[in-house]
Amino acid sequence: MKLYLKIWRQKDAQSKGKMVDYTLDGVEGDMSFLEMLDILNEELVSKGEEPVEFDHDCREGICGTCSLQINGEPHGPDRLITTCQLHMRKFNDGDTIVIEPFRAKAFPVIKDLIVDRSSFDRIQQAGGFISVNTSGNTIDANAIPISKHAADEAMDAAACIGCGACVAACKNASAMLFTSAKVSQFALLPQGRVEAADRVQNMVRQMDLEGFGNCTNTGACEVECPKGISLTNIARMNREYLSASIKG
C-alpha cells in the first residue's frame, strides 16, 4: 500500500518543530508500524537526509520505550497494544497518517518524536519502593500467605510499562493512572502496607512538582493504556491519599 505520512520533525529541545510530509510506497500489512518507519528511514538515509528519530527498543510491547501519537491516539488506533505491536494491516492503501510525539508539559521533546519521560522516574524515586534491603536476610517467601485475589490485583496494577500513553491521552496531561498503578500494587500487598501512607504522599507530591495536570475522571487514560491498567487504581490512590492526609 501507499501511505501519506505527516511527521513531526524537531531538531532538538531548543528548536521549533513542524510537520513534514512524506509519501511511502510498498508498505505491507504484515509490517509493524515501526518497521514501516524503518523503511522510511532507510529511504531518507540513502538520500543523505536525517532519519526520523523515535524511541523504541524491545519491539514486543513490554519495555515501554516506544510512544508516538498516531492520528491523535497514543499507540495508534488498536487497543491494548503499544506502537511496536501495531501492524500496518490496521491501515488502508492511500491513508494519511499523522505521527506526533506524546504531548505534555512534563514530557519535553528531545528530538523529532522522542520525548523526555524522566519525570516518571522521579515519581518512582520519591516513593515507588518498599524499604527493605536486598541482603536476602528476610523471612521465607511463603511465611505470609497472600490471597490469590490480592496478588492478582497487585499484578494487574504492576503490569504498567511506564510508557506515558495515559498522560498523552489526558486533556490535562495527568499522571494519575501511572502513579496510582504503583501506589496500588504496594497498597494491595501486606509488604507494602507498612509505609503506604508515606509512599502515597511522597509520590503525589513529586507528581505535582513535575507539572502533570489534575485528574478530571474522563477515563481517556484507561482506554488508551496498552496494558489495560484500570481506573480503579486512581480511586484507590485517592482513598490512600485522603486517609494518609487525615492521619497526618
Partner 1 sequence: MAVLDSKIPSGPLADKWTKHKNDINLVNPANKRNIDIIVVGTGLAGGAAAATLAELGYNVKTFCYQDSPRRAHSIAAQGGINASKNYQGDGDSDYRLFYDTIKGGDYRSREANVYRLAEVSGNIIDQCVAQGVPFAREYGGLLDNRSFGGVLVSRTFYAKGQTGQQLLLGAYSAMNRQINRGKIQAFNRHEMLDIVLVDGKARGIIARDLVSGEIQRHAAHAVVLATGGYGNVFFLSTNAMGSNVTAAWKAHKRGAFFANPCFTQIHPTCIPVSGEHQSKLTLMSESLRNDGRIWVPKRKEDAVAIREGKLKPTQLSEEERDYYLERRYPAFGNLVPRDVASRAAKERCDAGFGVNKTGEAVFLDFAAAIHRYGKEKAMTSGIKNPDESTIIKLGEEVIEAKYGNLFQMYEKIVDENPYKTPMMIYPAVHYTMGGLWVDYNLQTTIPGCYCAGEANFSDHGANRLGASALMQGLADGYFVLPYTIGDYLADDIRTGPISTEAEEFEAVEKEVREKLEKLMSGSGIHSVDHYHKKLGKIMWNKCGMARNAKDLEEAIKEIAELRKDFWENVKIPGTMDSKNQELEKAARVADFLELGELFAKDALLRNESCGGHFREEYQTKEGEALRDDENFKFVSAWEYMGEPKDAKLHKEDLVYENIELKTRSYK
Q: How far is the CB of 200 from partner 1 (least distance, A)?
A: 14
Minimum distance between the CB of residue 16 and partner 1, rounded to whole angstroms? 16
Please identify, using beta-carbon distances, which residue of 48 and 248 lies nearer to partner 1.
48
Q: Which is nearer to partner 1, 37 or 170 (CB)?
A: 37
Q: At what angle do helices 196-209 and 176-187 cross, to 10 degrees?
A: 170
Neighbours of 171 (CB within 10 A): 9
Q: Which of 124/172 has CB closer to partner 1?
A: 124
Q: Could you tell me the smallest distance in angstroms from the CB atom of residue 218 to partner 1?
A: 26
Q: How far is the CB of 82 from partner 1 (least distance, A)?
A: 10
Give how far the C-alpha of residue 93 lies from the chain's centroid of Cα atoms, to the nearest Å.
29
The residue (of 65 and 69) whose beta carbon lies closer to partner 1 is 65
SS3 at position 124: helix
Neighbours of 240 (CB within 10 A): 22
Report the nearest approach of partner 1 to the CB of residue 217 (Å): 26
User: Which C-beta is closer to partner 1: that of 74 or that of 162?
Assistant: 162
What residues pair up with 213 in beta bridges, in sequence order? 174
Strand residues in the chain grouped as ranges (E) = 3-9, 18-24, 69-70, 73-74, 96-100, 109-111, 114-115
User: Looking at beta carbons only, is 158 or 244 nearer to partner 1?
Assistant: 158
Q: Are strands 69-70 and 109-111 parallel, antiparallel or unpaired?
A: unpaired
Element (H, E) at 206: helix 196-209
Minimum distance of partner 1 from residue 237's CB (angstroms): 16
> Which residue is it, cell 520519591?
126
